[in-house]
Structure formats: C-alpha cells, structure tokens
A and B are shown apart, each in its own frame.
Chain A
C-alpha cells in the first residue's frame, strides 16, 4: 500500500510541474503553496522539468530570505540612534608562556602558563555578566560560592626533587583543592561541599568524594597567595584525593577554559597522547585577586592555568639526548593566540653560557634574566607575536641538542621524604624526613600532615630529631580525628639546622573498617595524602620584591616580601597503607555453613526426639481383601 502511494505523488508532481510552467510565465508568485493552488486552478499545462521548478521555487525562496535581511538592516539603522553609548570594553588581558628547562638527568621539563587578568570585582555580591576572556563557568563559581581564592591541581606522577630540582609550581600526586572563602560566607562547610560537587562536574573528576573525612582546616599553612589583609583560617579548607586518576577527560575541560581553546597559540602543543606518556604531568587552575598596579588600590582577578610535564629520556626520548618541540609534543607552533597580548617561549640556558653543553636552534637574540627559585637564571626568549620567529617555513620547532653531559646540578636546599615503617597489619610508624642542604643557614619549615581517621595516630609517640638530638618545634597544632567524621591534622613549625636531616616519627594503629566502607579493590591499599612542607628558604641572590614589575609568569607566582629568602612548598610522597582486609566471601560461607550445620545437626536431633514409631501391618493379599470386603458387608469382624 505504501509503495503504491509512493508512485502517486511522483506522478502528480510531474503533472503539477507541467501546469506550473504555464503559470510561471504569466504570473509571478511568491509563495510555493500558493503556486500549487494556482497551478491546480489551471489544468492546461505544458512540459517542464522538475529541476527547473525546484530552481524557480528556490530562487523565489532566496528572494524571500534576502528580503528579511534587508528588513533587518533597516531595523538596525533605525535602532542605532537609540543606543546611548558603545558598550564599555571589559579590561582583560591574556598572556601565555612556555618555559623549557633541560634537566641534568637527560629529561626535559616543560611548564605552560596561561594567565588571564580581569579588572572586575567579584566580591561583595557584584553581578558580573559580560565575560570575554575569563571563562564564564569559573566566574559563576566564584560569584555563587563567594570564593576569594581557589587552587586546584591534578597530578599524575611524583616530582623527584633530587634528580630534577625544584618545580616552578609544586603539586602533590592526585587531586588537591584548597579554597579561601570570603568573609560573607556563613556556613563554610556546606558551601565547600557544594563547591566540590560543582568542580567535579566542570573538571570531570571525582571531587565529590571530598567530604569531612578528608577535609582539614590548616591553622598556619596555606596563607592566601592573593592580596588581602584578613586571614581568619575559619574560611580556609584544604583537601587532597591521592587516588585521583588524571587522564584526557580532565585535560579536555581544562583546555576548553582557555580563550583560544586548543586551536591557536601554545595550547596546540597539548596533545594527550604525548602529555600522559611522561614521568610527571600536572595541570592546575589558580584563581586569586592581585594588585592592578604598583599602588595596589584596586584589585583585578587573575586566573592562571598551568601545566607542568617532565618527559623521560628513555620513554619519550628514545634514549637520545636531543629534544625538540616535535619530539615532545608531536606538534610545532605556527602562530600565537590572537587574543594574547604576549606569547613567549623561554629556554633555560643558565648552564650553557657559551653553548658548550647543548645547542639551541633556531638561534635567537632575545635574552632575559629572571630571579626564580632563589637563583638568577638566564633564558633565551622566542616571541611568538613576532612573525620572524617562525622563519620562512612558518613554523617553529625548537631543537635542543646536547653535546656534553658534564656538569652537576645545583642541589636543592630543601627536600623531603616520607615512608611507613613497621610490620604486620596492626601497627606501623610514619617517618617524615626533611633535608636541609644549606651549608651554614638554618631556616624554619611548617609541616602539615593530614592523616585519615583509620590510621589512629599516637601523638604521645611523636618525636622530632635533628642530627640525633631532640628538636622541639616552636609551634604545634594538633586536631585529633573522629572516627568517620574528621581526619588527623598535625601542623608543626620546626627549625631545620644547617646541613642536616630532621626526622619526624609517629606511631599509629590500623583500624578495622565496616565491611561496606571498603572500596571494590581493598587489597590495593589505602592512600594517605602527601605532607606539605612550606618554608622560607634563603636564596643565593636578592629576590625581586616589586610585585608589579613586568616579570615572566613562572617567576611571579609566589609573592615575595623580602629579598633574602623565597617561599617554597615541597610535597612528600603519598603513602599506601594496607588495612586489615576481611575475606569478603565470608558472609556467603558463613550462611552456607550455618544452614548446613543447622539442617544436619538440629534436624536430625529433632527427628530423633519427635518421631514416633507405629506398627504397620503388611497389606494382605487379594483373596483376603475380597474376603474382608464380604465380611464387612455381612457385619462380621475382618480377618
């Protein structure tokens, strides 16, 4: 039936087109249905191809669309005098940079920094609606949850300080989130819970696992990195998820926050197959208010997106000490981000003043010096906003070829390790070692330890020893844990003597969890988050305290108050602890065994006690049965 009706419309259409040809010549119509109607009125039709009709009706429709456009333009012209003033330009600025530092072990360290500065005011419930370079999702998060500062990082791998030196921006393995809320927030814990849920949706991470069992409120660490004068630690929350996996699904929304996305500028280098095939990968988002100018009367908001990656010599480098942008990222650069006011690449050539260690090509004449990590470093600069950086091939592929492998690395002054000692599944001991490699200066460090509740710490066994002698901390803050509610929080200010190792030990006992609290893979172990060591390390050169002078982004993250020292944060390894794990097939085994025992034991006993025996006559033969029947009929007792 359907097929039969299919033929009909085709035939009808051809017939109508015949009639249309006649009509079109005589009349001009503007609406296609009207055409059909008028065609049907005039049955005398001539031959006409379907395409011409379609083209005609298309042409008619085209004319129709043009008409509306003209109307729009006319409306615009009319509306112009009604607009009072041109929309004010939101004052925001975007900068991007890449720092490449060849490491002594043959690996290479690349650090991307993308910074958006925006002169607006999110505080005090100001309604912001006109977003340009600043991503709207983060702006709405800041206004809705009254956030003053937000720092979130996702890291895969552990930073090896002794082999690689200090990173420009440290981060612990897994996910870390710390937030300073504004004074206007009344219920910080509820706001914190909602904020973690919203961020888990934005970054495709399981941040919703952050709850009161892994959130702490540090009392002295994690002071705000932005401007501000009120530091009431009631508005600070810190949490880590050491188990969090970082993969392409976290990189994708991170890249979408950039103004140019991953289409232009330095972000084209961010390809996940190469970035995750590395020894260390860390991406972070930092939002804080900063000074607008040297007077610092007004504030602007800064959004920094950083990505640190260390490529391994043997994994990505195939054993050859020769690195290029193409080898690292499988891409080369062709242009800067058009929305960026500055787009630069810095290569650290401090160890290579005459070019004897490695060779850098294409050569560049721009040099820059910066005070970073307590040292004056020299960098070769490639400015991507200049067209001649890309040369005649219109693409930039930096090549660093090593010539000699001499020279040793400057030993980092502060270094920390942590491990679990002990045996068995009942007790253990956490050892944290802090190394001070400075030959004659001692400096204070602030150690923050957040241990989950299922490792019950015995604080009376806490010892801090340096060079064999007891080292009493000048400040201790300890908040005991509460089962299933709160973790342990231990903060200590310890003075590290010069050229020494300070060891902090504390004993603990492992708790037995309820069987529903175990993860689906409990034999993997349970993670304890990294310790955080914040310190003011003496620097070898005078640090720059002027915060608003034009400096490369990677050197201006931590604010510097005095010239003789610089602030550094070191993270230790996370710990992996085995808790006593029950055999999860036990409930099934117990039920089977119990039911069997009950059935066999009790059942047989019950039978023995309650079974009564009756004597039963064997059934008589057929003749006797018939005889009994006859006897019954006669009324005589049976045989």
Chain B
C-alpha cells in the first residue's frame, strides 16, 4: 500500500511538471501568431466598364474580410471606377460575382475610401508607407503598428514586373518591394500577406526582400490570368477565375475555422484556373501550415480574462452649462435677406489688396530708368528738372 502511495506521489509530481509544460506550450501556441490587430488594403486598379470583373474581385475579397470580422475602419478599399452606379449597369447599386445575379458583393453597407481618380500609384504607396498629407482623414490611412497583420490584395491588368493603374501609369515590382521594406523599417507590420490577381502576377513578388512576407499570385511569368464567366444580362465578365475560386474557398471559412495557408495554396489548381497559381513563403518565418486563414482574413481577437478588479475613479461631474451671455444684452437675431437687390446694386467693388509690382513691370521700369540715365547722365539731371 505504501509503495503504491509513494509511486502515486512520484507520478503526480511527474504529471504536474508535464502538465505545466503542456499548458504553457498550448498557451504559447495560442499566442504564437504574435499579432493583435488586422488590416486590409484592397485595391482595384482598372477603369472602364469592361473591367467590371476587377471591381467584383476586390469587392468579393472585401466582403469576405468584413464577414470574418475586420471592421470598415481597418479596411482601406480603393476602387478605380464606379461599376455599381455606372450608367451602363442594368441593375444599379449592385455588383455581382456569380452569373444570374446570385451574389451581390457590393452590398448595402460598403465604404469605399479611395475612388475614381484618387487611385494612383502615389496614393497607394503613400497609404502603405504612411506618408500622407496631415489633413488626410482617418478612414484613408493605414494606421498599422508592429503587431498588425496586413492583407494586401491587388487586381487589374499587369505584365512581367509591373501592374497598370487606370491605364495611365504603372507600379513596378521593385517599387513594391521597396515600399514593403519601408514598412518593415518603420515597423508597420507584423506579418503581411500579399495576393495579386493579374496576368503574370508572380513577377510582382519576385523582388521582395523584407522578412515576414507571404505572397500568392494567380499566374506565373509568361501566363495570363483568365476571367471566369460572363453574364449575358450585364454583358461583361463578372469575375476572374482565381478570385472566383478564392471566394468560394473563403465562403466556407468562419471566424473559428482552423484552415491554414496550405489550404489556401491549393485554391484553383491548373485544371480550374488554366494558369498556374504560385506562392512564395521563403521570407515568412513561421511554417505556413501553422498560419491560420483567419490570421489575415479575419480579425480574431485574443481575449485574456483577468481576475483582478479594476477601480474606476469617481464619476466625472458634469459642468453645469452656464446660460450663454447671461449678462450681455441679447440682441434680436434675424434671418438674412436672400436677394437684397438694392444692396447688391449699390455694392462697392471689393478693394483689391495692393501688391508690390510684379517681376515684369519691375524689370521694365528698371530698363527705362537705365536708358534714361544713360542718355542724359546724372549731372545733367538738374537741367531737366
């Protein structure tokens, strides 16, 4: 009997050590992704009605990202043209991704941050690096920190080493790699997932050199990314193949899902996509199999329950609003006359502020004076005056 007691005590000590190690290990794994907030930058770079599918691509990723929990304040959505309220759209305020108008990815609650002519290479790079003019509103800024996981999605027309913005300018893969390096130097991301759906998309991630970057592209260098299916009522192709199958994959993901990046790499094999999707994980420090989809597409918050009670300070007493101008004699206000004809007719013209003479006038007068003094000489001046 005593032997069994000793054995069990020994076992219990052994067990306790193992338990604590296991607990800390699972706790460690629980916090191992290292990010506390999620951001998404979704960009559609194409203009004109026949590029409807690029807008639908971006909006379908926007929809998935919002559904999985990232709020609008953490999404920077850039659409280069308006398809929903375009006059050629037979169903206004809708953008469909599946034919027969099955799924409206535009929705009722969309907030586009950069639209129309604002989607330029300069604005895109400024958003990424954070170097925006001081009066830019918060919804147009990427306010990420070193614990943010950022998802960047680009779609449009591209080529070997560049992506075309609105048919008038391009961004090259070198510029993009440098922008990401700037972000890394300024500690603007913890991990970054870059997805691109254009022709020859893999060329865009060839030049990356900053750590913690994972990239996916819809086609290799020399291949074209193809579009999925047209809708005969709308008259254009609705989605690109890669993003269509990506959307189908993401529709099965819910916030508690444990799907990881290896599943994402398998989306749209060559049989479905006709092009060969590629990915790059050599710069990423973690194993892709341990990275959850919701680490980038969702906003799963880690909650730590604490048992301590927090003392709040005494409630702030509201300052009694003094009745405005109690002592000043209140004059009677009135509405302004909207079209005071007599006042307008007798309005004095606005006094233009006096400005010193412009350069041309100054030069002209200098020339005249020079000629004058040259002809007459200074000592003869008193004869003239």
Contact = CB atoms under 8 A, between A and B. Distances in A.
B137 A197 contact: yes
A248 B344 contact: no
B339 A249 contact: no
Interface in B10-40: 11-13, 15-16, 18-19, 22-23, 25-26
B338 A558 contact: yes
A188 to B, nearest CB: 14
Contacts of B23: 9
B323 to A, nearest CB: 9
A493 B345 contact: yes
A299 B332 CA distance: 10
Interface in B125-154: 133, 135-140
A532 to B, nearest CB: 12
Given A84-B317, A247-B93, A534 B110 contact: no
Contact of B324 (A12, A202, A227, A298): A298
B333 A297 contact: yes
A517 to B, nearest CB: 12
Given A446-B339, A475-B345, A520-B117, A252 B110 contact: yes
Interface stretch (A203-211, A416-424, A574-582): A203-211
Q: Considering residues B137, B168, B307, which has the most beta carbons from chain A within 10 angstroms of its beta carbon?
A: B137
B363 to A, nearest CB: 20
B166 interface: yes
A561 B321 contact: no
A584 B168 CA distance: 9
Contact of B320 (A88, A298, A444, A474): A88
Contact of B135 (A12, A88, A194, A291): A194
A208 B82 contact: no
Interface string B100-121: 0000001111111101111000
Interface stretch (B84-92, B174-182, B264-272): B84-92
Nearest to B140: A201
A273 B93 contact: yes
B15 A40 contact: yes
A24 to B, nearest CB: 17
Contacts of A82: 314-315
Contact of B347 (A41, A219, A534): A219
A242 to B, nearest CB: 13
Nearest to A289: B333
A249 B82 CA distance: 10
Contacts of B109: 252
Contacts of B331: 297
Contacts of B350: 219
Interface in A243-278: 243, 245-249, 252-253, 271-273, 275-277
Interface in B205-224: none
Nearest to A519: B117
Contacts of B368: none
Interface residues of A, number: 85
Contacts, number: 193
Contact of A277 (B16, B91, B339): B91
Contacts of B113: 204
A197 B135 contact: yes
A157 to B, nearest CB: 10
A424 to B, nearest CB: 26
B365 interface: no
B50 interface: no
B334 A229 contact: yes
B70 to A, nearest CB: 17
Given A204-B112, A227-B333, A227-B334, A248 B339 contact: no
A220 B347 contact: yes
B336 A247 contact: no
A229 B333 contact: yes
Interface string B324-353: 100000111111111111001101011000
A219 B140 CA distance: 35
A223 B345 contact: no
A245 B307 contact: no
B108 A248 contact: yes
B333 A272 contact: no
Given A223-B337, A291-B333, A521-B47, A249 B22 contact: no
A512 interface: no
- Nearest first, the 9 A-B pairs at minimum CB distance are A201-B137, A43-B8, A559-B335, A247-B85, A197-B135, A276-B93, A520-B166, A227-B333, A276-B92
Interface of B: 5, 8-9, 11-13, 15-16, 18-19, 22-23, 25-26, 47-48, 82, 84-85, 91-94, 106-113, 115-118, 133, 135-140, 166-168, 307, 309, 314-315, 317-318, 320-321, 324, 330-341, 344-345, 347, 349-350
Given A201-B136, A248-B85, A248-B93, 18 more contacts: A12-B15, A41-B12, A43-B5, A43-B11, A44-B8, A82-B314, A82-B315, A83-B315, A209-B118, A225-B338, A231-B336, A245-B115, A246-B85, A247-B85, A248-B84, A291-B335, A296-B334, A521-B167
11 contacts: A88-B318, A206-B115, A225-B335, A229-B333, A248-B84, A272-B93, A276-B93, A277-B93, A291-B335, A297-B330, A536-B341
